[in-house]
Amino acid sequence: MAGTDDPHRRRYRDGARLGAGGMAEVFRGTMVGAEGFERPVAIKRILPSLSQDAAFATLFVNEARLSARLHHPNVVQVLDFDRDQDGRLFLVMELVEGRSLDEIVRDSALPAPVVAYLAAELLRGLTHVHALADEHGRPLGLVHRDVSPHNVLVSWEGSVKLADFGLAKAMAVVSGTQSLAIKGKPLYMAPEQVTSPADVDQRADLFAVGAVLYELLTRRRVYQGSTTEEIGDVAARSLSSQEPPLGNLTCRRMGPR
């Protein structure tokens, strides 16, 4: 982002790429200020095709404005958003030095007390999000929509932070990309969210937390399937089933008694 004549966009300097997904790339970056001021940040750059989609861009900006109002120890802080010199939308966020929960559980099982700690911290962050109100005290009804191990960051000091508010909602409205919007994520979605992604409320986030914790405790996923379509079919069938999605799976104790 350096090299442009726009002084605002010169405030950020890209570093090493930290990762990439279906809608964005994430870079370690630096916020540059006056008198040699520098702050490490994370910069999420939206892919060019999405950045040029008017419907996505409008909702992305609206959601970024709301996300910037979230101030809580268990929520990744959004510091800024803009377009770079190539017209790509980007978010500037606090840099969490650590690993995602997805990376952690790939390496080893977590003992039950650690899972309980993660649950408490995650729910504290969601409580703040769900309770956010406007200047008149009216609830904004924010829903994360994409609570998953990939979006839970754990710092080296043990802080638990939820990331990526608003991106799932913005993705869901892009014409012709509905399947991309939920690709890989039905594993943690409430059945209603899989069948009607645009019509969900805050209960969907709580279901997702339960699905994540269930996987951490049992080493099994709530929904079984090898493709997005298979998982979606299982979730849809559970809407008419009298047996809850967790019904016939047994929790396995992990760690000492």
The full length of the chain comes to 257
Residue 127: count of CB within 10 angstroms of its CB: 12
Q: Please name which of 58, 41, 37 lies closest in space to residue 97, comparing C-alpha atoms.
A: 41
The beta strands (E) that lie in 131-172 are given as 152-155, 160-162
Tokens 């399937």 sit on residue = 225
**146 given a catalytic annotation:** yes
Q: Do domains 9-94 and 98-238 have the same CATH topology?
A: no
Distance, in Å, from the CA atom of 205 to the CA atom of 152, rounded to the nearest integer, reads 13
pLDDT band at 119 (very low <50, low <70, confident <90, very high): very high
pLDDT in tens, 6-42: 544 578 888 999 988 778 899 999 999 877 789 999 9
Q: In this structure, what token pair is assigned to residue 5?
A: 């004549």
Average pLDDT over residues 166-172: 63
Strand partners, 20: 25
Q: Assign domain 9-94 one CATH number from 3.40.50.9100, 3.30.750.200, 3.30.200.20, 3.40.50.300.
A: 3.30.200.20
pLDDT band at 152 (very low <50, low <70, confident <90, very high): very high
**CATH 3.40.50.150 is right for the domain spanning 98-238:** no
Domain ranges of the chain: 9-94, 98-238
pLDDT in tens, 88-118: 999 999 999 999 999 998 877 889 999 999 9
Residue 157: the pLDDT is 95
Q: Could you say which of 146, 164, 205, 233 is catalytic?
A: 146
Residue 178: the pLDDT is 44
